[in-house]
Amino acid sequence: MIILFGLGIELSPAHDIYTGPLLVAMPALASLTMGPKGTLSAAAGALAVSLTTTTLHEAWGGMLIYSNLLGLLVVSVASVITSKTVRARRQSELDQVRRVAVAAQRVLLRPVPARLGPVRAASMYLAAETGAQIGGDLYEAVQTRYGVRMIVGDVRGKGLPAVGLASAVLSAFREAVHYEDDLVEVVNHCAAALHRERAAPGAVDQDEREDQAEDFVTVLVAQVPDGFEVQVVNRGHPAPLLLRQGEVHALMPSSPLPPLGLDDFITGLPAKAESFPFAPGDRLLLHTDGVMEARNSDREFFALAEAMAAVPTCTPPQFLEQLHRALIRHTGGHLADDAAMLVVERLDEEAGNKQAAQLLPPEVTDRIDLPDTS
């Protein structure tokens, strides 16, 4: 743009204005934001303007012209070298940040095991921002003495504060699931951890703290016990979808509850886990709103239930991959929000009991009565 501005001056009646210093500075300015190729292009453009205007105005022979060209050459060479160095340093820093993000994701959003007692499982996380690894969505599935316990959640907020809240909720869940027999108490531990994280001094700066005070977390906690049922506590989260014999059913709560962080809005009796049938062969999909609210170019939502019903018989990881492909086709590859999915498939009782006995340590299995399947 500046090169064109200089060319306009040289070709206008105001060509007496000397634009040499302006053109000499172009490669240096380009090196701040462009790579070596962009810097060379800027240098070539400045050189072309200098040669063109010098020829048009028949200004060859003056010492000032040769000084201008020499200065342009020196600045161009220095700018290309500088752009290479800066680009290499920025790439190294970016690679380091990505390695840290990958390591953080493995801790915060680790893939769930393929087999957990009476279920087969798979998980998937899709970041909306290019190059991002983690965000405000969370999920986990854990084998406990009470059954398989799962959580899916979504933090209202973005950036590092959202990651901090998600980490606090997940940490509380991973601890509480092993000693709290009541699923509601597990959720209460998550709510308490969220409150402590928002109130912790020094976690974020003042501006972020004011924003974080208004943040909340929608969560859905589910449990698959030994029987053919699934127990659910839903705190403001999208309802899980149950796929049974080609038909999809939403497990809607009978009494909607507010998300974690908005506990002042709870009135009446305390929440109780709700039970739904979960027979062998059924698949349960826990997901965040980034999946169901994904839009196409016509602003139409992604038909998640129809996409689930259209997936042919396959393993849970293949099932999620098919949903991922359908989601990418629908959005054209551009997600507006992070998306997380966790699917579990109920096995028959014999297979589930054998798998539970293999996965749990002896000190736990000694306290659980498994039916004799011999």
The mean pLDDT value for 177-203 works out to 89
The mean pLDDT value for 221-233 works out to 94
Q: Distance between CA atoms of 299 and 318, rounded to whole angstroms?
A: 28
Domains held by the chain: number = 2
Q: What is the mean pLDDT of the chain?
A: 78
Q: Which of 18-22, 165-169, 234-238 has the lowest mean pLDDT?
A: 18-22
Please identify, among 99, 121, 147, the residue that sits at the C-terminal boundary of a domain: 99
Structural domain contains residue 73: yes
Structural domain contains residue 107: no
pLDDT score at 207: 54
| Residue 36 and residue 136 share a domain | no
pLDDT score at 101: 60
| Residue 259 and residue 119 share a domain | yes
- Judged against a pLDDT cut of 50, whether residue 98 lies above it is answered with yes
328-337 tens-digit pLDDT: 999 988 888 8
pLDDT score at 192: 93
Q: Most confidently modeled of 70-84, 164-178, 198-212, 213-227?
A: 164-178
| Residue 253 and residue 129 share a domain | yes
6-34 tens-digit pLDDT: 555 555 554 444 455 556 666 676 776 67
- Judged against a pLDDT cut of 90, whether residue 338 lies above it is answered with no
| Residue 127 and residue 70 share a domain | no
Please identify, among 78, 99, 120, the residue that sits at the C-terminal boundary of a domain: 99
Structural domain contains residue 371: no
Higher pLDDT, 132 or 280: 280
Structural domain contains residue 91: yes
pLDDT score at 189: 95
- Judged against a pLDDT cut of 60, whether residue 291 lies above it is answered with yes
Structural domain contains residue 281: yes
Please identify, among 57, 73, 99, the residue that sits at the C-terminal boundary of a domain: 99
| Residue 318 and residue 219 share a domain | yes
Run of H or E including 217: strand 217-224
Q: Name the 3-class secondary structure at 62.
A: coil
pLDDT class of 212 with cuts at 50, 70, 90:
low
Structural domain contains residue 60: yes
pLDDT score at 76: 76
Name the residue with tokens 């709290």: 180
- Judged against a pLDDT cut of 50, whether residue 373 lies above it is answered with no
| Residue 81 and residue 162 share a domain | no
- Judged against a pLDDT cut of 70, whether residue 52 lies above it is answered with no
| Residue 183 and residue 214 share a domain | yes
pLDDT score at 372: 42
Higher pLDDT, 351 or 34: 34
Angle (CA) 305-307-310 rounded to 5° is 110
| Residue 165 and residue 121 share a domain | yes
Structural domain contains residue 372: no
Q: Most confidently modeled of 70-84, 158-172, 261-275?
A: 158-172
- Amino acid at position 217, single letter: V
Q: What is the CATH number of the domain that holds 158?
A: 3.60.40.10
The mean pLDDT value for 293-309 works out to 93
Higher pLDDT, 329 or 48: 329
Taking every pair of Cα atoms in the chain, the longest distance, rounded to a whole number of angstroms, is: 103
Higher pLDDT, 277 or 96: 277
pLDDT score at 14: 47
Q: Name the 3-class secondary structure at 209.
A: helix
- Judged against a pLDDT cut of 60, whether residue 215 lies above it is answered with yes
Structural domain contains residue 374: no
146 Cβ contact list (under 8 Å, min separation 6)? 177, 181, 223, 225
Name the residue with tokens 């300015």: 29
Nearest to 138 by CA among 162, 102, 114: 162
- Amino acid at position 21, single letter: P
pTM, to two decimals: 0.69
- What is the domain extent for residue 36? 2-99
The mean pLDDT value for 322-326 works out to 95
Q: Most confidently modeled of 2-16, 74-88, 138-152, 351-365?
A: 138-152
pLDDT score at 211: 53
| Residue 290 and residue 264 share a domain | yes
Distances (CA, A) of 310 to 118, 239, 248, 326: 25, 20, 10, 10
| Residue 71 and residue 126 share a domain | no
* Alpha helices, DSSP H, located in the chain: 2-11, 20-24, 26-33, 36-56, 63-108, 159-176, 183-199, 206-212, 289-292, 304-310, 316-331, 349-359, 362-365
| Residue 95 and residue 119 share a domain | no
pLDDT score at 87: 75
pLDDT score at 316: 96
pLDDT score at 263: 77
| Residue 141 and residue 94 share a domain | no
With 0-12 CB in 10 A as exposed, 13-18 as middle and 19+ as buried, what is 202? exposed
- Which pair of structure tokens corresponds to residue 243? 């796929």
